[in-house]
């Protein structure tokens, strides 16, 4: 009877749809500004502890917040780039909770009526066995809100004490809340990477996760398709894109195993609740932004308020637009456009080479991605640190395209340029005598020597095995150090052995 029960249970479970993950993200982006959100204190990474703290940051009695217009403009620019609706009126609240590194006992935030809502982030990631199939997806942006950062607690285990650094207290943050529409760590990582590129292009956030400029909380649950969403848990303060993917996938797998073993996933949520301690911020009036200069009320200086039209005109070319333009303009592969845009400075390098050389962009992309990036990655260098300038690479490519040096020689010269960037392409080619051998009589003599010194191979070729001709061609290339045209050499050899 027990065996029958187990069999029926197994059959019922095996017939159910496979459980899937559901992921939503909360991204805290530190606004790129010289001063904090509500005070004039400077913002600087790795400054001496407590050296950038105003009286307001330390919550001394009688101090009042003064809103930083740059932070408001950064939030509006970000909202426009993410296709959000910009609320013409937004409010600040106090969120009361105790942190040792939050001296006021509350955080000033915009969770109830934020500055931007209902946006969309379009992102792409690679799928397929060879990871060369680009899949484009989107996730809704529920809201973007302005809020203060907290300070930093430094725990000294040896002395059994906690030290407080308030340099970060009051730094302006944008919290971007993404709807739970992603299914795995790879999708979430791709979305955050795209957001990083957008913020960097806008100049609203440097988005360096290693320095805490971009921090991610992931809300993760699992359920069977068609059923209500499962109980979610939150993975907080993830500090790299790679760790984000791993943490989410681990949490999805953990929850699946808990449910499959008849366990219960614990509910850990930060959703708004009337008991969470929110109250209107009494020292800050409602925040107004205006559609255009004409909509600014009389008597108000337009230069002192945030005007959406003025910010819209400042929007730069965003990453997705750059990738589309690269593919359409230069005819390169889509996956190559991702490499060019994702690597800081690489797209400008590529376009500078294309504009200076006569070669097709598809040939240039090979040099940039294989040769240049291969050397940069092997030495852990940035594009800006490349010893070979775009102009120098273009000169090298032009020599190869014009037939003055062979393609194999060009790669050899590239490595020499990397070692000795002070030398020009022409100097290296001349010093090492790497010019192409185009003199027909000289080629005839070289090929004759090779044919005469390989009688056995010649007989095999004459008996019909044409593949052995490749060996003779290799001997010619070796003797000339790759300074011959393979097509021309093959024609001469074929004539000699026929």
**Dihedral (C-alpha) 174, 175, 181, 185: value to the nearest 10 degrees?**
90
Strand partners of residue 233 = 220
**What is the rounded distance in angstroms from the CA atom of residue 387 to the CA atom of residue 321?**
30
> Any idea how long the chain is?
498
Place of tokens 């040099």: 367
pLDDT computed for residue 465 by the predictor: 83
Residue 49 CB neighbours (<10 A): 14
Longest distance between any two alpha carbons in the chain, whole Å: 101
What confidence score (pLDDT) does residue 268 get?
56
Q: What is residue 342's predicted lDDT score, i.e. its pLDDT?
A: 92
| Half-sphere CA count of 104, side-chain side, radius 13 A | 23
Question: 24 near 180, Cβ under 8 Å?
Answer: yes
φ, ψ of residue 235 to 5 degrees: the values are -105, 115
Question: What number of other Cβ atoms are within 10 A of residue 489's Cβ?
Answer: 23
Q: Are 396 and 470 in contact (CB under 8 A)?
A: no
- Please provide residue 190's backbone torsions phi and psi, each rounded to the nearest 5 degrees: -65, -40
pTM across the whole model: 0.85
pLDDT of residue 452: 87
Q: What pLDDT score was predicted for residue 2?
A: 46
Show the 3-state SS of the chain.
CHHHHHHHHHHHHHHCCCCEEEEEEEEEEECCCCECCCCCCECCCCCCCCCCCCCCCCCCCCCCCCCCHHHHHHHHHHHHHCCCEECCEECCEEEECCCCCCCCCEEEECCCCCCEEEEEEEEEEEECCCCCEEEEEEEEEEEEEEEECCCEEEEECCCCEEEEECCCCCCEEEEEEECCCECCHHHHHHHHHHHHHHHHHHCCCCCCHHHCCEEEEEEEEEECCCCCCCCCEEEEEECCHHHHHHHHHHHHHHHHHHHHCCCCCCCCCCCCCCCCCEEECCCCCCEECECCHHHCCCCCCHHHCCEHHHHHCCCCCCHHHHHHHHHHHHCCCHHHHHHHHHCCCHHHHHHHHHHHCCCCHHHHHHHHHHHHHHHHHHCCCCHHHCCCCHHHHHHHHHHHHCCCCCHHHHHHHHHHHHHCCCCCHHHHHHHCCCCCCCCHHHHHHHHHHHHHCCHHHHHHHHCCCHHHHHHHHHHHHHHHCCCCCHHHHHHHHHHHHC
pLDDT of residue 413: 93
Task: Look up residue 323 and give its two tokens.
Answer: 């990738």
* pLDDT value, residue 486: 81
Q: Out of 1.10.10, 1.20.120, 3.40.50, 1.10.3470, which CATH number does the structure's domain 440-497 have?
A: 1.10.10
In this prediction, residue 129 carries a pLDDT of: 67
C-alpha torsion 33→36→39→41, nearest 10: -90
The pLDDT tens digits along the chain (498 residues) read 545 544 444 454 455 578 899 999 999 999 999 999 999 999 999 999 999 999 999 999 999 999 999 999 999 999 999 999 999 999 999 999 887 788 999 999 998 999 999 999 999 988 766 677 889 999 999 999 999 999 998 888 788 888 999 999 999 999 999 999 999 999 999 999 999 999 999 999 999 998 999 999 999 999 989 888 888 889 888 888 999 999 999 999 989 988 888 888 876 543 223 345 567 888 899 999 999 999 999 888 888 899 999 999 999 999 999 999 999 999 999 999 999 999 999 999 999 999 999 899 999 999 999 999 999 999 999 999 999 999 999 999 999 998 888 888 899 999 999 999 999 999 998 888 888 777 788 888 888 888 888 888 878 888 888 887 888 888 888 888 777 878 888 888 888 887
- Exposed, middle or buried, 477 (CB in 10 Å: 0-12/13-18/19+)? middle
Each domain of the chain, given as residue ranges in start order, spans 19-279, 323-429, 440-497
Say how far apart CA 110 and CA 117 lie, in whole Å: 12
Number of neighbouring beta carbons within 10 Å of residue 138: 13
Encoded tokens for 157: 């285990």
End-to-end alpha carbon distance in the chain: 85
- What letters, b where the CB count within 10 A reaches 16 and e where it falls short, cover 88-109? eebbbbbbeeeeebbbbebbbb
Residue 165: what pLDDT? 94
């Amino acid at each position: 009877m027990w065996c029958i029960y187990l069999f029926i249970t197994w059959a019922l479970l095996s017939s159910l749809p496979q459980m899937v993950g559901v992921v939503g993200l909360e991204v805290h982006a530190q606004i790129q500004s010289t001063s904090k959100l509500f005070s004039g204190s400077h913002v600087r990474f790795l400054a001496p502890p407590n050296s950038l703290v105003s009286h307001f940051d330390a919550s001394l009695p009688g101090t009042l917040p003064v809103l930083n217009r740059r932070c408001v403009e950064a939030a509006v620019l970000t909202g426009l780039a993410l296709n959000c609706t910009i609320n013409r009126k937004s409010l600040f609240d106090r969120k009361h909770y105790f942190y040792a590194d939050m001296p006021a006992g509350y955080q000033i935030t915009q969770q109830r009526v934020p500055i931007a809502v209902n946006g969309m982030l379009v992102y792409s990631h690679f799928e397929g066995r060879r990871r060369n199939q680009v899949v484009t997806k989107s996730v809704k942006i529920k809201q973007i809100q302005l809020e203060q950062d907290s300070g930093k607690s430094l725990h000294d285990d040896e002395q059994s004490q906690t030290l407080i650094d308030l340099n970060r207290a009051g730094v302006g943050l944008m919290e971007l809340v993404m709807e739970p529409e992603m299914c795995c760590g790879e999708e979430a990582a791709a979305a955050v990477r795209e957001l990083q590129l957008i913020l960097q292009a806008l100049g609203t956030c440097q988005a360096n996760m290693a320095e805490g400029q971009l921090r991610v909380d992931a809300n993760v649950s699992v359920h069977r398709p068609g059923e209500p969403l499962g109980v979610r848990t939150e993975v907080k303060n993830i500090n790299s894109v790679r760790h984000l993917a791993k943490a989410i996938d681990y949490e999805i797998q953990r929850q699946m195993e808990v449910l499959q073993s008849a366990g219960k996933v614990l509910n850990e949520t930060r959703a708004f609740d009337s008991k969470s301690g929110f109250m209107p911020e009494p020292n800050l009036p409602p925040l107004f932004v205006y559609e255009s200069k004409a909509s600014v009320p009389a008597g108000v200086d337009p230069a002192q308020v945030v005007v959406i039209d003025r910010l819209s005109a400042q929007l730069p070319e965003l990453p997705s637009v750059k990738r589309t333009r690269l593919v359409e303009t230069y005819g390169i592969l889509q996956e190559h456009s991702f490499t060019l845009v994702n690597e800081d400075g690489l797209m400008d390098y590529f376009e500078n080479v294309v504009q200076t050389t006569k070669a097709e962009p598809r040939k240039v992309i090979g040099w940039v991605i294989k040769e240049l990036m291969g050397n940069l990655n092997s030495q852990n260098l940035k594009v800006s640190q490349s010893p070979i300038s775009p102009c120098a690479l273009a000169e090298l490519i032009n020599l190869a395209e014009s037939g003055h040096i062979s393609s194999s020689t060009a790669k050899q010269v590239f490595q020499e340029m990397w070692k000795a960037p002070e030398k020009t392409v022409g100097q290296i080619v001349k010093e090492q005598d790497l010019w192409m051998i185009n003199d027909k009589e000289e080629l005839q003599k070289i090929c004759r020597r090779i044919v005469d010194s390989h009688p056995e191979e010649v007989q095999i070729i004459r008996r019909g095995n044409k593949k052995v001709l490749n060996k003779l061609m290799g001997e010619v290339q070796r003797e000339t150090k790759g300074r011959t045209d393979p097509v021309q050499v093959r024609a001469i050899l074929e004539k000699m052995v026929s």
